[in-house]
Structure 1
Amino acid sequence: MAQMHENLKFRYTLEDVVDMFVDDIIPAICVTDAFQRLKGISFLGAVERTKKHSGLRHNRFNHSIGVALLAQRYALTMEFSQAERIRVVVAALLHDIGHAPLSHSIEPLFAEKFGLNHHIATEKILQGKIALGRNLYEELLKNSLDIDFLINLMSGEDKSKFGRIFSSPINVDTIEAIWRGGSYVRKQFFNPVEVLDAFIAGNFSSGSVVDRFWNEKNSFYSLMIYSKEGVAADYWARVRVWESDKKLVPDDFYLTEKHFLSKYPADFSDKIQPTLVDIKVRNFEVDDSVDVPCYDALSTRYKIVKSKRSVLLDPPAKKEENHIQPSFFET
């Protein structure tokens, strides 16, 4: 088996995809309109734009390919049949296909106004119910893929050997995401393939690479998602839409960020004042007193502890250098 960590990259070309995947359907999906759109959807939404970090910007396109590579390694290691492997890898590749511009930063506005979220959008795209998903839908049908089965895998409802890499706390989406996130702080926390291989082998002993991964996930969320800068970026992204004289419509969900930000320019009123924002926080903790006898018990060791806190945010400044999100107001 190829050493996949050597192949995991921050950015992929179509040539990379052809070389790195064993099934022809993967490159075919990568050139569809819906998947190409992910090049214009940032990996962390507005949080992506908070700091320069290492100078890298990530998108859902590259993240999705990385997740699919990990899923392929899983399927090959588990010796799935070709049909089984294709279903698992395609589900991994398409798990983010329905994300809105600025992802989770803006999605709450669509959910509140239209009842629309990325799960619903994913179904509409995969089922060809909107124009954006038409050629992807046709590609899936051409390869006799059960779309409902793919959706069930992505949802985390399938707890079988096929679905556990989506439903488990230790899943291919999160492994790739936290590995990719290390670039923001100029540090690669761990080898993602080692985490996946430990997951497959059931190595959840104290001090294992899976323990380290879970601890680093907690650090990443603290440094990026729940930092004052990260919370501010999410909040002011929503204000950008609230303050606009343009009306939010459901079709905006399927725009790229370039077109979305052009529609909602950052024209903030001087009347905006410092704002106290309540946020929901998740901490990721390892309970070292718990042994894991089976995959279904992973959540007893790798725990998610929820809490709430308030953050005081200053109004954003459009041009101030080194402000919390210096590039956020540029289209």
Structure 2
Amino acid sequence: MLDEMGRWQAYKVSSDASELMPLAPAEVTFRSDEKIIFDDPFTLELLSSAPVRRLAGIGFLGAIDFIRHGSGRSAHRRRHNRLEHTLGVARFAETYAREAGLSERRRRLLLAAALLHDVGHGPLSHTLEPVFAEAFDIDHHSMTRRIVRGETRNGRDLQAFLRDADIDPDEVLAMIDGHHSGPDAFLFAGSINFDTLDGISRSRAFMKPRAAPRSMLRAVRHWAQTGRAPLPEFDAFWTLKHDVYTLLICGARGRLLDAVAQAYMRANIDEFDAIDFGRSDVTLRKHHPKLFEVLGLVASQRTSLKDHLPSSWMKEEVTVKDRAFTVRTDKGVNEPDQLDARYTQSKFTKRISIEELIEDL
């Protein structure tokens, strides 16, 4: 078990409970076994860059991935990674740009934003980020900016390539951050955006044997061709987003996994370093195997967690957010910026202890 300082003692969970399912090679699926294929040299060059390739080693949902024990390699039976999500976002961008007849430069700006929006993610995705931010002043937003601007070793070639292609790295970052002033900014900044369209659909695949509507790609195609949002599809998507947050992301087990991972890192912060933020899940596991054993313990729930986690953790509080996503059917949509009036969300923040999270299971 763990002692009061959070250090691992004799207790071990069985290997199949604590083992991370191996990340699938980047054969990239889009919530099915359908391939995503790009043929534009600009896109292929970005895909071959070190920052993008690294995303194959970053799990999509972080500690929440431990809820699923993979039983196969097809998309609905395994964990997804950040590269697969990135490719899904890029597919939306590519489809929209071509169907809307955008210029090559506008299309490539959208593709660059899609392919680079997650390059700053650390291992276990969002899970450990609050502790990295507290201890080392690092988060995925700041790291993405550093990489795209060429301020890191693996970002220098990427930044040079963007400039050679006449794409301003700061313009890419403005698109990613939702601050771009151009006509296509709403595709990343609005309530309905390429990032969440893929992310929520991909999370739905995690929850049930069948992933969320492949009609999202058809919806994006219709959106581009007509200039009008396909409200029935987007209404259904917003309802799906509510379910994904309620049942999965903000579910009791997902919150507990995040909270315990963060408690472990805080208790053992002297064994971590800012360098860890640049690792993949696999390399983080090699350097901090006990962290993953703790996650396996929580995921398996084969014994009382209170008996095997440090008692000092029980009263440790974490901030959690409840979210409610509402479709305002009384709000019509004639322009992209009106989507935010139809698709709204409410956030409720509270503090809760790890003990209370365990009791909520």
TM-score by length of 2: 0.77
Matched, 1:186 2:227: no
**Superposition map of 1:168-207 within 5 A:** 168-184=190-206, 185-190=208-213, 191-200=215-224, 201-203=227-229, 205=231
Matched, 1:44 2:61: yes
Corresponding residue to 2:281 among 228, 233, 257: 257
CA distance in 2, matches of 1:11, 1:195: 17
Corresponding residue to 1:32 among 49, 67, 75: 49
CA distance in 2, matches of 1:130, 1:203: 39
CA distance in 2, matches of 1:270, 1:93: 41
Question: Could you report, residue by residue, the CA deviation over 1:105-133 in whole angstroms, capped at 9, with x for unpaired residues?
Answer: 11111222233221110111112211122
Corresponding residue to 1:143 among 165, 179, 183: 165
CA distance in 2, matches of 1:153, 1:71: 12
CA distance in 2, matches of 1:55, 1:299: 34
One-letter amino acid of the counterpart of residue 40, structure 1: G
Partner of 1:299: 340
Partner of 1:289: 330
Unaligned runs of 5+ in 1: 1-6, 318-323, 325-331
* Closer/same/farther in 2, CA of residues 117 and 165 from structure 1, 3 Å limit: same
Unaligned runs of 5+ in 2: 1-27, 71-75, 295-308
Mean CA deviation greater in 47-56 or 167-176 = 47-56
Partner of 1:234: 258
* Structure 1 ranges of 4+ moved more than 6 A: none
CA distance in 2, matches of 1:204, 1:32: 35
Partner of 2:133: 111
CA distance in 1, matches of 2:325, 2:222: 19
CA distance in 1, matches of 2:32, 2:53: 13
Q: CA deviation at 1:194?
A: 3.0
Question: Could you report, residue by residue, the CA deviation over 1:165-193 in whole angstroms, capped at 9, with x for unpaired residues?
Answer: 10111001111112211211223332221
Partner of 1:280: 321
CA distance in 2, matches of 1:283, 1:128: 38
Partner of 1:80: 102
CA distance in 2, matches of 1:81, 1:68: 16
TM-score by length of 1: 0.83
CA distance in 2, matches of 1:235, 1:70: 33
CA distance in 1, matches of 2:219, 2:348: 27
Contact 2:29 2:84 in 1 (8 A): no
* Closer/same/farther in 2, CA of residues 142 and 306 from structure 1, 3 Å limit: same
**SS of 2:120 mapped into structure 1:** coil
CA distance in 2, matches of 1:35, 1:55: 24
CA distance in 2, matches of 1:27, 1:302: 34
Identity %, equivalent residues: 27
Q: What value does the CA root-mean-square deviation take over the aligned residues?
A: 2.7
Question: Could you report, residue by residue, the CA deviation over 1:256-297 in whole angstroms, capped at 9, with x for unpaired residues?
Answer: 112223322326664445456441122111112222232112
One-letter amino acid of the counterpart of residue 58, structure 2: I
Partner of 2:146: 124
Question: Could you report, residue by residue, the CA deviation over 1:62-106 in whole angstroms, capped at 9, with x for unpaired residues?
Answer: 110111011011111221111221111111111111111112111
Contact 1:228 1:313 in 2 (8 A): no
Matched, 1:102 2:124: yes
Question: Could you report, residue by residue, the CA deviation over 1:288-318 in whole angstroms, capped at 9, with x for unpaired residues?
Answer: 222223211211110011113565645999x
Greater length-normalized contact order (CA 8 Å, ≥ 6 residues apart): 2
CA distance in 2, matches of 1:245, 1:82: 47
CA distance in 1, matches of 2:29, 2:182: 26
One-letter amino acid of the counterpart of residue 321, structure 2: K
Q: CA deviation at 1:26?
A: 1.3
One-letter amino acid of the counterpart of residue 186, structure 2: R
Mean CA deviation greater in 100-109 or 212-221 = 100-109
* Closer/same/farther in 2, CA of residues 64 and 245 from structure 1, 3 Å limit: closer
Mean CA deviation greater in 271-280 or 74-83 = 271-280
One-letter amino acid of the counterpart of residue 244, structure 1: N
Contact 1:273 1:315 in 2 (8 A): no
**SS of 1:104 mapped into structure 2:** coil
Partner of 1:221: 245
One-letter amino acid of the counterpart of residue 343, structure 2: Y
CA distance in 1, matches of 2:66, 2:314: 20
CA distance in 2, matches of 1:244, 1:262: 15
Mean CA deviation greater in 269-278 or 247-256 = 269-278
One-letter amino acid of the counterpart of residue 127, structure 1: R
* Closer/same/farther in 2, CA of residues 284 and 159 from structure 1, 3 Å limit: farther
**SS of 1:279 mapped into structure 2:** strand
